[in-house]
């Protein structure tokens, strides 16, 4: 079965800070990405034009019938499936793959909405124009069916031959997110900084060598001069041994980090790492 073509329409206002990343991610899963601007007052439209994203200006009430009618009347080429996303402050980029999966399920109309509190319990009596769009997927046939409905049309008014699914939006799905080494924790940030700045020999190597030499020199003198074993002599001896071990540990850490830094540098050179100078 041939893969169906998909167009993603981003219905949004004032998203200049999110636009570029959103369009780039949307293009990974769709054949075409279009911005449906709802009257932005910032540089959203200008940024969209700079990255080659077509812009449609929508000035009507944002219900599903008006959106479908507007898309039909635009100069967009017919396509197998269209996904309209309502980009709000609550919408997260991690929700995009889930919406794209819905668009691949071959529904003529798949409408995810946030209904009003007084919406009817019966699905057939649900008024389409009263719902707040979260996302809607439709084929060309489903788009025409929605566009020709009136503002008070109910779910039962849709053609029974259409494959229709209308669901109320649920809480955000918690998807485990992978964290990079630089953002996983404070310790990981320090570790990554030491590798990048090539400072492990200075931070651990020099103090480690100093502590190891001092501890080694003092250990012989302390053990030889303290003839009587008491709490003081044992404490001084243990402190001297601890200094020697800490110094040795510092030298080992410095060498390990230095070797790891060289390995990271070699990998970056092989793959032409963008941040490498």
Enumerate the domain spans of the chain. Answer: 6-168, 186-270
| pLDDT over 80 (residue 273) | no
Element (H, E) at 168: strand 164-168
Q: Which two tokens stand for residue 258?
A: 């230095």
| pLDDT over 60 (residue 183) | no
| 19: number of Cβ within 10 Å | 25
**CA distances for 117 relative to 110, 130, 132, angstroms:** 21, 11, 12
What integer pLDDT is reported at residue 181 of this predicted model? 45
Question: Are 35 and 19 within 8 A, CB to CB?
Answer: yes
Q: Which residue has the higher pLDDT, 157 or 9?
A: 9
What integer pLDDT is reported at residue 248 of this predicted model? 80
Question: Are 129 and 64 within 8 A, CB to CB?
Answer: yes
Fold of 6-168: Spore Coat Polysaccharide Biosynthesis Protein SpsA; Chain A (3.90.550)
| pLDDT over 70 (residue 33) | yes
The owner of tokens 């320090």 is 190
Mean pLDDT to the nearest integer, 259-269: 69
Q: What percent of the chain stands above pLDDT 90? A: 22
| pLDDT over 80 (residue 17) | yes
| pLDDT over 50 (residue 150) | yes
Q: Which two tokens stand for residue 122?
A: 């019966």
* Distance, CA of 230 to CA of 209 (rounded, Å): 30
Q: Which two tokens stand for residue 56?
A: 């449609």
What integer pLDDT is reported at residue 149 of this predicted model? 85
> What pTM did the predictor assign?
0.59
Residue 54, classed as helix, strand or coil, is strand
Report strand pairing: 54-57 vs 32-37: parallel
Mean pLDDT to the nearest integer, 225-237: 61
Mean pLDDT to the nearest integer, 228-257: 73
Question: Are 48 and 8 within 8 A, CB to CB?
Answer: no
| pLDDT over 70 (residue 5) | yes
Nearest to 248 by CA among 201, 208, 214: 208
């Amino acid at each position: 079965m041939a893969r169906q073509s998909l167009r993603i329409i981003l219905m949004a206002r004032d998203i200049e800070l999110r636009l570029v990343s959103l369009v780039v991610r949307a293009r990974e899963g769709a054949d075409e990405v279009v911005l449906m601007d709802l009257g932005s007052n910032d540089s959203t439209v200008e940024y969209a034009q700079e990255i080659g994203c077509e812009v449609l200006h929508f000035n009507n009430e944002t219900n599903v019938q008006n959106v479908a009618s507007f898309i039909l009347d635009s100069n967009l080429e017919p396509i197998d499936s269209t996904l309209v996303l309502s980009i709000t402050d609550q919408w997260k980029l991690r929700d995009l793959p889930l919406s794209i999966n819905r668009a691949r399920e071959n529904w003529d109309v798949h409408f995810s909405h946030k209904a009003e509190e007084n919406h009817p319990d019966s699905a057939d009596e649900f008024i389409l124009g009263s719902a707040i769009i979260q996302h809607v997927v439709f084929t060309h046939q489903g788009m025409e069916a929605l566009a020709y409905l009136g503002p008070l049309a109910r779910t039962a008014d849709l053609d029974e031959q259409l494959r229709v699914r209308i669901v109320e939006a649920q809480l955000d799905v918690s998807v485990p997110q992978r964290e990079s080494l630089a953002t996983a924790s404070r310790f990981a940030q320090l570790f990554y900084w030491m590798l990048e700045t090539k400072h492990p020999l200075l931070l651990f190597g020099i103090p480690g060598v100093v502590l190891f030499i001092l501890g080694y020199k003092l250990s012989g003198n302390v053990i030889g001069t303290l003839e009587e074993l008491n709490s003081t002599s044992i404490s001084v001896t243990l402190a001297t041994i601890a200094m020697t071990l800490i110094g040795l540990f510092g030298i080992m850490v410095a060498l390990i980090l230095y070797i790891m830094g060289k390995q990271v540098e070699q990998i970056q050179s092989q793959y032409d790492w963008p941040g490498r100078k």
